[in-house]
Amino acid sequence: MAAASPAALAAFSNQIAAWADRFGLPKGELMPLGPAMIEVVRAVSREQPTLILVDDAQWCDRESLLALWALLRDLSEMPVHVCVAIAPQPPRTELDELRSRLGRDLKGVTVHIDKLAESDLKQLVRWAVPDYSDDQLDRLARRVTLDSAGLPLLAVEILHAVALGLDVEETSGAWPVPFKTLSQTMPGTLPDTIIAAIRIGFRRLSKPAQGILATAAVLGERATTEQLSRATGMAAAELNSGLDELEWQRWLVADSRGYSFLARIVRQVVEQDMVTEGQRRRIRKAADYGE
């Protein structure tokens, strides 16, 4: 990075303390961050191939997304690769424009990532607990499929927790035990990684969607639209908008019987960590569950 122009380095030193410590405090007029980023990446890529990772790009500000587009355009002949991970909601015009140019004006491809299938999870299980027999692997794979819905972060962290929390004497070295595959309590506590990730995602939802999700967690494995309407007190338009948001963000799934959580472990965390006892009682009463 030191080969970049002083003006480009100063732009970042003004924003990031670590850069200020390394390159000194900025002096004089600053270069805009977008052009500064292009200058820094150009300097780095002259010495070695460069990979830029952008996660959750749908939350980036417009200036950053336009700068990323300009970088791809201006450094198209340099050994620079950009990997951008996005969710379909909320929609971003800047990202749609970028994707529309891939394969035409810009070299690149779009890859759609689906959830892990049970066969994929069985490979992860074998990696996490290599001493399990085939029957034990099958039981654990079914349980992880239910708890994680095939979401990679949840699946890997659940398997870490299982491997670290196993009591060999109590479980004979395998969890879950036969005939309790879907109901036996998980050994060990949930990792903070899972809890923190769910909390962050929950706080990013709109207030109506947060209320609906907390209500659905309290109501149980499945909740109808009528139950959610009574328990939240929301008008139909607000409720439907919140439910659509939760489906797009892959928190809930809908079928003819109502709404349920995509991943069972997410419902567990939301119900335990995002709802007070008072809220829990009010929700059940409003939904005619009684106390």
**79-103: per-residue pLDDT in tens?**
999 999 998 778 888 888 888 888 8
Q: Where are the beta strands (DSSP E) in 46-200?
A: 50-54, 80-84
pLDDT of residue 129: 84
Instruction: Report the distance separating Cα 111 and Cα 97, nearest Å.
Output: 16
State the Cα–Cα distance between residues 214 and 212, nearest whole angstrom.
6
Supply the Cα-derived Rg of the chain in whole angstroms.
24
Which helix (DSSP H) or strand (DSSP E) does residue 247 occupy? helix 236-248
Residue 188's pLDDT is what?
63
Mean pLDDT of the chain: 86
Is the per-residue pLDDT at 64 higher than 60? yes
Question: To which residue do tokens 């995509």 refer?
Answer: 262
Q: Kind and range of the H or E element at 12?
A: helix 6-13
Convert the pLDDT of each residue in 195-238 to its tens digit.
888 898 899 899 999 999 999 999 988 999 999 999 999 999 99
Whether this prediction's pTM lies above 0.95 is answered by no
Question: Which run of H or E residues covers position 190?
Answer: none
Type of residue found at 69: W
Residue 171 has pLDDT above 60, yes or no: no
Cβ atoms of residues 217 and 271 within 8 Å: yes
The pLDDT confidence band at residue 172, using thresholds 50, 70 and 90, is low
Residue 267's H or E segment, with its range, is: helix 264-273
pLDDT at 197: 84
Question: What residue spans define the domains of the chain?
Answer: 49-113, 118-187, 194-286
Q: Tokens standing for 172?
A: 């004979």
The CATH number that domain 194-286 falls under is 1.10.10.10
